[in-house]
A = this chain, B = another copy of it.
Amino acid sequence: MRIEIICTGDEVLSGKTVNTNYSHMAARLQEAGLDVVWGTTVGDDRDSLIEAFKLAAVRADAVIVNGGLGPTVDDLSQEVAAEAAGVSLELNEGWLENIEGFYAARGREMPPNNRKQAMLPVGSEFIDNPIGTACGFAIDIGNARFLFTPGVPREIHLMLQAEIIPRLLSLSGVQHVVRVKRFHSFGLGESRVDNMLSGVEDLASSGEVKLGFQAHYPQLETKLFARGADEADITRMLAPVETAVREQLGSYLLCEGDETLEGSIIARLREAAGTLAVAECGTDGQVASRLVGADREGEVFRRGTLGPSVQALGQAVGGEDVSLPDAAGAAVLAEAVRKSARTTHGLCVLVGPGDTPSEGLVFIGLSRAGETTLTRAACIVGGPERVRGGGIEMGLDCVRRLLSGLSIDDPVDFEKQT
């Protein structure tokens, strides 16, 4: 089935708004086994909309139109849809009541121009929007089924999964179920993982499994796209493939699915009644920032200290005299921040320049009460932003490794091998 996405609106056309609705829709469709073959962007302009609809009606089987369902005069989608389909607009009484109720619940009266949002082309199929005043609808134009959706991101995100994808799957005659399984790793490059996992899809007991990657430096996301008869079938076919991926990624596997590295650190420390304090330099405070974002209750993460130099950091964590950014300094600072914050664990991450502008040095210290302080040093290859990102991730990863009983010394692909 050939699918086209038409994005409408002057804000998107003029580049004022980055078109994340498009990438979101296309990516979710692909995960569902549906391929987008054409994308069109036009403004809030009647002639352009008519032309775009006519072209898509010939070359596509299904068309998602995004935007233009608002209450103002420049929102033209319903009108142009009706014109292109050769029908008139009629009031959808049920949806008008819904909009009135939406305003009433907020203690306001519906402005008269919102009535426009309940005018749908005669013969169109209503598509519910549970969180906004712009409903969707579907209608045939030419050879294609057109599905109209609102431009507000959280509305289209919700409607895409609940309403649009099921309709497209049904249109395409697809009988199968699809699932995407995600693995997040740190330290292995995409091409290396691609090699390591070569042939892993063939382990699927039945159906079809495809392997894909998405690099979000410093993390790599490995995806398994599975297609099977039903959920139980997918679970069965994926099991041996998942096991093989876990084995291959080994100690570099951070977490799976919707889990995050920082979330899993907080969860493990919470289980063990542990607490954590951080001292950092050259990281823009992002080690503490990531952890506090995963621990809104503040049970585990107890303190973050950011300094412009190791000397300033030494003063901040209890007057320690640290003069050099090195592994020994990171150890002293990790211990000092743990003691001054009275936590079970202390982490120090120091990121600074290297011998050349295209590399940087990272020193990590990890302190626990009554145990030897661990350290890790690395020379990360790349410009300052890349070194900073790699250092932040490596600092967090060392905590995960410690809590999982893994070595913190496994080399990563981004560091210079010595």
Contact = CB atoms under 8 A, between A and B. Distances in A.
Given A41-B39, A214-B16, A289 B284 contact: yes
A194 to B, nearest CB: 15
Contacts of A307: 298, 302-304
A20 B227 CA distance: 31
Given A38-B42, A312-B302, A19 B14 contact: no
Interface stretch (A25-33, A117-125, A162-170, A242-250): A25-33
Contacts of A45: 37
Contact of A305 (B14, B41, B292, B304): B304
A13 B20 CA distance: 12
A406 interface: no
Contacts of A284: 289, 292-293
A37 to B, nearest CB: 7
B27 A13 contact: no
Interface string A260-291: 00000000000000000000000011101100
A197 interface: no
A27 B298 CA distance: 42
A28 B29 CA distance: 31
A28 to B, nearest CB: 8
A320 interface: no
Interface string A181-215: 00000000000000000000000000000000010
A292 B43 CA distance: 41
A55 interface: yes
A36 to B, nearest CB: 6
Given A292-B306, A302-B307, A37 B43 contact: yes
Contact of A306 (B7, B18, B20, B285): B285
Complex copy number for this chain: 2
B38 A14 contact: no
A126 interface: no
A88 interface: no
Contacts of A297: 308
A316 interface: yes
A155 interface: no
Nearest to A298: B308
Most chain B Cβ neighbours within 10 Å, of A26, A41, A214: A41
Contacts of A299: 308
Nearest to A290: B284
Interface in A48-92: 48, 51, 55, 59
Contacts of A36: 13-15
Contacts of A306: 285, 288-289, 292, 303-306
A18 B303 CA distance: 35
Interface of A: 7, 13-20, 22-30, 35-43, 45, 48, 51, 55, 59, 214, 284-286, 288-289, 292-293, 295, 297-299, 301-309, 312, 315-316, 340-341
6 contacts: A19-B22, A37-B48, A51-B59, A299-B308, A304-B307, A305-B316
In the A-B complex, list the 9 residue pairs whose CB atoms are closest, starting with the nearest. Answer: A298-B308, A15-B26, A39-B41, A15-B27, A304-B306, A15-B23, A285-B285, A285-B289, A18-B23
